[in-house]
Chain A
Amino acid sequence: MTGRSAVQKPGAVRSLTERILPPIVLGSGFVCIWYLLSYGLLEPRRRFLLRPPHQVVKVGFLDWDNFSDILESLWSSTKVAMIGLAIAICIGLILAIMMSQAKIVERAIFPFMVTLQSIPILAIVPLIAFWFGTGQRSRVVVCVIISLFPIIVNTLFGLQSADRGLHDLLTLHHADRVTRMRKLMFPNALPAVFAGLRISAGLSVIGAIVGDFFFGRGDAGIGQLLRRYANQLAGEELLAAVIMSSALGVTVFLSFGWLQQRAIGRWHETTTGAN
């Protein structure tokens, strides 16, 4: 056993470096180019457009006053995104389950789903403001609208793609609708549900930030902060806030990957190469 793991170790270390090294190299190259642009291309007068990385770190991350602002608004946006996502999940699962139960429900609902999906969010901003005000509630609504579609489509696909033979087996043994849903269709849908969730979670974060630009009342979200920094020509803070918002997106994506692994990793072979 010990001999075996001793043999395997270099391989494991190598595969780890193989995974970590390329992004590090690329990242370093990226920082170099950043410096090059900042110092080489921009004359000092115009350097506020792209501050060098160490300045960004110093002002944006190490200055607690600024960084706590960023964290606070990031937290506000995270809350909005997660509340929106949670609502979208509830609505999405319920609608998908209903649609899977009767073809007629599917036919009735689907056109509206597609319509909702293809309406540019900008076009209904006034309507949302009219109905829900210009505060957090409207931001949540944007998140729901933007993240609902992938959940419904993926869940419905998962529910409908259960093996025919298993359906036959349940029919042979007189399973009722609820049993069929609980024991076959729903578990069968889980991988697809998680695939949809990962997409929707990302969209919901985007929705929270975008929603911030239109509906600024209440706690300032990260979108508000970005706008403020841009207006103040605060280049360091602006870049730091941008970096933190992408960090949020990445964190959300990875968390849902982790959640998926925990929930269904034991039996399902993940085919997305995302982790």
Chain B
Amino acid sequence: MESDRTGSATGSLAFEETGMVFPDGTEALQGISFTVDKGEFVTVVGPSGCGKSTLLRIASGLLEPTSGSVRADRDQLGYVFQDATLMDWRTVRGNVELLAELHGIGSKERERIAAEAIELVGLSGFEGHYPKALSGGMKMRCSLARSLTLKPPVFLFDEPFAAVDEITREHLNDETQRLFRTEEFAGLFITHSISEAVFLSTRVLVMSARPGRIVEEFDISFDYPRLPELRFDPSFAELCGQVSLRLRGSHA
């Protein structure tokens, strides 16, 4: 990628020596510094409980860091939660329209935006379904479509596909990557799956066990569009191996 990752101040999302100590004394994050520019897709992997969700909550402004600072283009932030968090009482269309509604966009425009997003995630034909009639993967797609409606310049994903099966996950990965190519947002993605991380990202950051610090950075230079077959490429496997090794080191 042509963007300069070593941190011009122009990043859409920038952490500067960010630290987080919870009121009960738990130190979740320590000295986190990195930036994510438009057109970059950065994935953070790290052991469970190391502070990844906390990192995203800070990035979104839901949580104030206790030290350092964060700059983010939070105007129309995209945030995909670990589970779909849909409103049971709204249809797929209603759920996807929610954010536009909150931002006071008129109903005509809202419908158009929602239809487009639904189409984009491949949920056409299910607009009138309620969440109880959707599979786990479809709910996740709906959630994805919802966060797409405002064309967010910054996109945060907190292990969005952790709860779906392997095949569905790969499908959703392919779709996420396609969205990234067409929408050109700055993406910050959290996952436990190393192959998911390597497949999607321009950069993978490895976090240490608590307190979470960035201990390693891997540039992933495969060309886009990345085809599903890339997952069987020897160089792909080698990169995954390296990340995995470093991750295991950070557990110790």
Contacts and interface: CB of A to CB of B under 8 A. Distances in A.
Interface string A158-190: 000001011011111111000100011001101
A174 B103 CA distance: 9
Interface in B2-48: none
Given A165-B83, A172-B62, A268 B88 contact: yes
Contact of B130 (A163, A173, A190, A267): A267
A187 B88 CA distance: 9
Nearest to A162: B87
Contacts of B87: 166, 183-184, 187-188
A173 B103 contact: yes
A163 B60 contact: no
Interface in A53-96: none
A134 B3 CA distance: 83
B212 interface: no
Given A171-B62, A172-B77, A266-B130, A163 B102 contact: no
A179 B89 contact: no
Contacts of B85: 163, 165-166, 169
B81 A165 contact: yes
Nearest to B146: A169
Contact of B132 (A166, A184, A267): A267
B239 interface: no
Contacts of B61: 172
B117 interface: no
Contact of B89 (A169, A173, A264): A264
Contacts of B88: 188, 267-268
B131 interface: yes
Nearest to B88: A267
Contact of A190 (B79, B89, B103): B89
A166 to B, nearest CB: 5
- Chain A interface secondary structure, helix, strand, loop or mixed? helix
Contact of B102 (A179, A188, A190, A268): A179
Contacts of A268: 88-89, 132
A135 to B, nearest CB: 42
Contacts of B79: 168-169, 172
Interface string B115-140: 00000000000000011100000000
B197 interface: no
Contacts of B103: 173
Interface in B84-105: 85, 87-90, 98-99, 101-103
A166 B131 CA distance: 14
From A169, A170, A187, residue with most partner B Cβ within 10 Å: A169
A171 B99 CA distance: 11
A43 interface: no
Contacts of A174: 102
Contacts of B77: 172
Contacts of A173: 99, 102-103
Interface in A243-275: 264, 266-269
Given A168-B62, A173-B102, A269 B132 contact: yes
A171 B90 CA distance: 19
A34 B239 CA distance: 82
Nearest to B60: A172
B102 A170 contact: yes
A174 to B, nearest CB: 7
Nearest to A184: B87
A174 B131 CA distance: 24
Interface of B: 60-62, 74, 77, 79, 81, 83, 85, 87-90, 98-99, 101-103, 130-132
20 contacts: A163-B85, A165-B81, A168-B79, A168-B81, A169-B98, A172-B62, A172-B74, A172-B77, A175-B102, A183-B87, A183-B102, A184-B87, A187-B87, A187-B89, A188-B88, A188-B89, A190-B89, A267-B131, A268-B88, A268-B132
Given A168-B79, A269-B132, 10 more contacts: A163-B85, A169-B81, A169-B85, A169-B98, A175-B102, A188-B88, A267-B89, A267-B132, A268-B89, A268-B132
By Cβ-Cβ distance, the 9 closest A-B pairs, closest first, are A165-B85, A267-B130, A173-B102, A187-B89, A165-B81, A267-B89, A267-B88, A166-B85, A175-B102
